[in-house]
């Protein structure tokens, strides 16, 4: 057991992560039912490329489209996540922390300049660089590293 953390603290962290996942899953299910993810994919692919046949690549594209839909501001300047958080109230302290984390989450587009293996990409160096990976069924950030 870590010296500075209790089992209850660790369990609360897992509950927060589960709450974040549940809320994001709910928002994405709403997007999928409404066809927003498919519409975004069609805009990307029509006239430019054929949809990939590989199921993992399809999942990765769908995850990126869902992220874009969740975090792109509307004409009012608010994102889907902002609207969701405003319309719902957290019921537990863990949910309150999950809402706080979702409220500060940001989606950033990056330019890929190189691959360092099948699961690791490199982007141009900036003050804050993000190392990203596309794993078997979803794309996600692995770590944020500071240059210099």
SS (H, E, C) 75-91: CCCCCHHHHHHHHCCCC
pLDDT of residue 66: 92
Q: Are 125 and 135 in contact (CB under 8 A)?
A: no
99 and 119 co-located in one domain? no
Specify the pTM. 0.64
Give the C-alpha distances (Å, rounded to integers) separating 137 from 8, 20, 38, 106: 31, 19, 17, 21
Range of the domain at 127: 108-148
103 and 114 co-located in one domain? no
pLDDT of residue 76: 93
Number of compact structural domains in the chain: 2
54 and 117 co-located in one domain? no
pLDDT of residue 125: 64
125 and 103 co-located in one domain? no
Q: Tell me, what DSSP letter sits at residue 46? A: T
Taking only the tens of pLDDT, the chain with its 148 residues reads 455 668 878 888 899 999 999 999 999 998 889 899 989 888 888 877 777 888 998 888 898 899 989 998 999 999 999 999 999 999 999 999 999 999 998 887 777 677 777 777 666 665 454 444 443 333 333 333 333 3
99 and 117 co-located in one domain? no
144 and 97 co-located in one domain? no
Q: Which two tokens stand for residue 113?
A: 């300049």
Give CA–CA dist 72/62, Å, rounded.
Answer: 15
Q: Tell me, what DSSP letter sits at residue 47? A: T
pLDDT of residue 116: 76
């Amino acid at each position: 057991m870590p010296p500075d953390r209790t089992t209850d603290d660790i369990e609360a962290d897992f509950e927060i992560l589960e709450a974040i996942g549940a809320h994001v899953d709910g928002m994405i299910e709403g997007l999928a039912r409404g066809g927003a993810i498919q519409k975004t994919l069609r805009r990307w692919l029509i006239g430019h490329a054929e949809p990939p046949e590989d199921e993992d690549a399809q999942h990765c594209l769908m995850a990126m489209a869902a992220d874009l839909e969740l975090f792109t501001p509307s004409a009012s300047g608010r994102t889907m996540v902002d609207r969701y958080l405003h319309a719902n109230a957290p019921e537990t302290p863990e949910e309150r922390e999950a809402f706080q984390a979702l409220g500060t989450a940001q989606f950033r587009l990056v330019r890929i300049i190189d691959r360092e293996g099948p699961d690791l990409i490199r982007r141009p160096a900036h003050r804050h660089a993000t190392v990203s990976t596309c794993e078997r069924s979803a794309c996600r950030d692995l770590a944020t590293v500071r240059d210099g």
